[in-house]
Structure 1
Amino acid sequence: MSSSFRLGESTIRSILKDVCNAIIKTMKGKFMPTPTTEDWKRIADGFNKKWNYPNCIGAIDGKHVNIIAPPSSGSLFFNYKKHFSIVLMAVVDDKYRFIAVDIGAYGKNSDGGILASSRLGRAIEMNTFNIPTDTPLPGTEIIMPHVFVADEAFPLKRNLLRPYPRSSGISEKERIYNNRLSRARRVVENAFGILYQKFGIYNKNLHLHPKYVDIVVFATCILHNVMRCYNIPSDDEVNTRQSSANNDDEQRLLSNLSTIPEDISESSASAFETRDMFATYFQSPEGRVPWQHLI
């Protein structure tokens, strides 16, 4: 761009930062707002209808964004793929749109560790994310929580489900559960694929300081949602949504998360039971799909 427009590289960098910050400031509230309870319910309905996974409100995964090694950073950004990177951690809905993102973690860290230490992960664990209350699975009276789905890199929690481990062999019920979870979870992989296809900057190592990489990645995530949004809300709708939220709800969501409630360990203890109940439901007449035994 510097040679094309005959501008200095420092000028181009300054313009880049200004444009990305403007995109984030003016478009985040419209295209990546903090979800309300009704938003989660619509997402859960979409996952059930499209991907055959009830009570699912999002798929979570991390994506490495390759960068040039920052000065004096040692091995902090050096990942298991032998590249330097920062991590884009994202929650994606049933329509491949980013619901929430956490950007900038060191490339050397694992997905599960990044989520656990992020404000996003703590908000999910502490239930300060406007997640709906437990509801019955379709066609039954079995009360189950609303859950996020993830791969083996993430811990098993009551509202964060991962597949059964395959290392020691699995039963037919566990195999079917893993396939159903994978069917819902792949939306986040597809969202990353669409993002990388649309924005050519991801096809090379970004030669920017990590803090500037963060705003570039955030801006592309918002623009991705713009391209995936077919019913663009008006400014009046956005203002009404923000004014109807609880007092500084978004700030409450992403701050003051240092205190973990006492019932967290109890919730973790019921994670295995939650996964088993979903697996059993997928075997029942109400929860099975015709093709699940053919895979």
Structure 2
Amino acid sequence: MFLRFLASGDSMFSLSIAFRVSRAALSGIIMETCQALWTVLQPLYMKPPTEEDLKLVSREFNDLWQFPNCIGAVDGKHCRIHKPPNSGSDYHNFHDFESIVLMAVVDARYRFLYIDVGAKGKENDSTVFKRSSFGKALEVNRLPVPGDKELPNTSCPLPHVFIGDEAFPLKTNFLKPFSRYGDLTTDKKIFNYRLSRARRVVENTFGILASRFRVLKSTMMGKLEAIDHIVKAVCVLHNFLMVTNAQNGNSYFTPVLVDREANGQIIPGSWRRQSIPVLPSGNISGNFSGRDALKIREAFKDYFCGVGRVPW
């Protein structure tokens, strides 16, 4: 009953009829199970990463996506909800529906490292990021970010970085693309492509999540706290299934689900062909970038156009 609710996106009303239980009882079962899943699975499958964990993430981003010193891709996703009472326009997003935001950091293998759930839909990615526990910890250097490391085949150490799209702030430990407005030089286009290619892992993670847990494609009803529990439960279940898929093999993840490359061409993942798209949460906001952050992005750009260039 619980798994059918998450996987199908069926309404509480239809499930209460199918299983012959009251909606109140069904709601209680779902909430208790969500909380129990988080309590049991989070310490095992979404525990805060250590410095050694992030070093492994960095190696895998280089091996799989040719982006060295990357320790996570960041993005947000809108989760549809019914408009809460007396909420005005607080949850109304720029896609023109009510939502809360799931802000996430993922590793190179489509697994969640950090999540933040419950921000109001009207807020842009930059604001949600700054207010999240992850964003606050990053701002005051409380995350176990590994020390600077030389990029492959160079002697110049550079910071380990998270990556995101234009909606996020450029920082010494957070890279985003060069602005797409105005003329971009070839080297900046190359940097943007390399970053976009690595960042696509978070977009595909959301795609896997929504294709397997169709409750995220429904318009969720109920108290905001209950919806937060549902979103957290599907995220930690996703990590559990991704890990067991890698260890034992199961049908949760298959390569055709995600974007892949063949002969230099990107083949869209099957999740993109589903009826309701995964909608990003970020509209672009103005972000001031410090001089050091600009220099670090330039250094990565020079690397991608020099010794770190790839044939494709």
Q: TM-score, with normalisation over the residues of structure 2?
A: 0.80
Bigger drift between 116-125 and 62-71 goes to: 116-125
Looking at structure 1, the residues matched to 290 and 235 of structure 2 have their Cα atoms a distance apart, in angstroms, of 31
Q: Give the equivalent residue in structure 1 for 2:296.
A: 274
SS of aligned partner of 1:288: coil
Q: Give the equivalent residue in structure 1 for 2:311.
A: 290
Runs of 4 or more, structure 1, over 4 Å off, are none
SS of aligned partner of 1:225: helix
CA drift at 1:271: 0.6
Q: Give the equivalent residue in structure 2 for 1:169.
A: 183
CA drift at 1:284: 1.2
CA drift at 1:11: 0.8
Q: Give the equivalent residue in structure 2 for 1:239.
A: none
Amino acid at match of 2:47: P
Please give the per-residue CA displacement for 1:57-91, whole angstroms capped at 9, x wherever unaligned: 10000000000001111110000011000000000
Looking at structure 2, the residues matched to 186 and 203 of structure 1 have their Cα atoms a distance apart, in angstroms, of 20
Q: Give the equivalent residue in structure 1 for 2:52.
A: 38
Please, what is the CA RMSD of the aligned residues? 1.2
Looking at structure 2, the residues matched to 42 and 24 of structure 1 have their Cα atoms a distance apart, in angstroms, of 24
Amino acid at match of 2:147: T
Q: 2:62, 2:68 within 8 Å by CA — same for their partners in 1?
A: yes
* Residue in structure 1 matching 2:112, options 90, 94, 98: 98
* Residue in structure 2 matching 1:205, options 202, 211, 219: 219
Q: Give the equivalent residue in structure 2 for 1:5.
A: 19
Looking at structure 2, the residues matched to 205 and 45 of structure 1 have their Cα atoms a distance apart, in angstroms, of 38
CA drift at 1:275: 0.3
Which 5+ residue runs of structure 2 have no aligned equivalent?
A: 1-14, 248-288
CA drift at 1:268: 3.8
Q: 2:160, 2:173 within 8 Å by CA — same for their partners in 1?
A: yes
Q: Give the equivalent residue in structure 1 for 2:230.
A: 216
* Residue in structure 2 matching 1:86, options 89, 100, 103: 100
Bigger drift between 138-147 and 223-232 goes to: 223-232
CA drift at 1:160: 0.8
Amino acid at match of 1:20: C
* Residue in structure 2 matching 1:126, options 123, 128, 140: 140
Amino acid at match of 2:200: R
CA drift at 1:204: 1.3
> What are the residue-to-residue correspondences of 1:131-280 with 2, within 5 Å?
131-230=145-244, 268-280=290-302
SS of aligned partner of 1:79: coil
CA drift at 1:166: 1.6
Q: 2:79, 2:217 within 8 Å by CA — same for their partners in 1?
A: no
Amino acid at match of 1:207: M
Looking at structure 2, the residues matched to 35 and 17 of structure 1 have their Cα atoms a distance apart, in angstroms, of 27
Q: TM-score, with normalisation over the residues of structure 1?
A: 0.85
Looking at structure 2, the residues matched to 176 and 192 of structure 1 have their Cα atoms a distance apart, in angstroms, of 25
Looking at structure 1, the residues matched to 228 and 219 of structure 2 have their Cα atoms a distance apart, in angstroms, of 14
Matched-pair identity in %: 43
Please give the per-residue CA displacement for 1:221-261, whole angstroms capped at 9, x wherever unaligned: 001111110467xxxxxxxxxxxxxxxxxxxxxxxxxxxxx
CA drift at 1:129: 1.3
Looking at structure 2, the residues matched to 100 and 137 of structure 1 have their Cα atoms a distance apart, in angstroms, of 25
Looking at structure 2, the residues matched to 219 and 134 of structure 1 have their Cα atoms a distance apart, in angstroms, of 35
Looking at structure 1, the residues matched to 146 and 160 of structure 2 have their Cα atoms a distance apart, in angstroms, of 7
SS of aligned partner of 2:72: strand
SS of aligned partner of 1:123: helix
SS of aligned partner of 1:11: helix
Amino acid at match of 1:178: N
Looking at structure 2, the residues matched to 202 and 283 of structure 1 have their Cα atoms a distance apart, in angstroms, of 40
Q: Give the equivalent residue in structure 1 for 2:279.
A: none
Looking at structure 2, the residues matched to 92 and 188 of structure 1 have their Cα atoms a distance apart, in angstroms, of 6
Q: Give the equivalent residue in structure 2 for 1:71.
A: 85
SS of aligned partner of 1:229: helix
Q: 2:35, 2:229 within 8 Å by CA — same for their partners in 1?
A: yes
Bigger drift between 120-129 and 29-38 goes to: 120-129
CA drift at 1:136: 0.8
The count of aligned residue pairs is 256
Looking at structure 1, the residues matched to 183 and 223 of structure 2 have their Cα atoms a distance apart, in angstroms, of 45
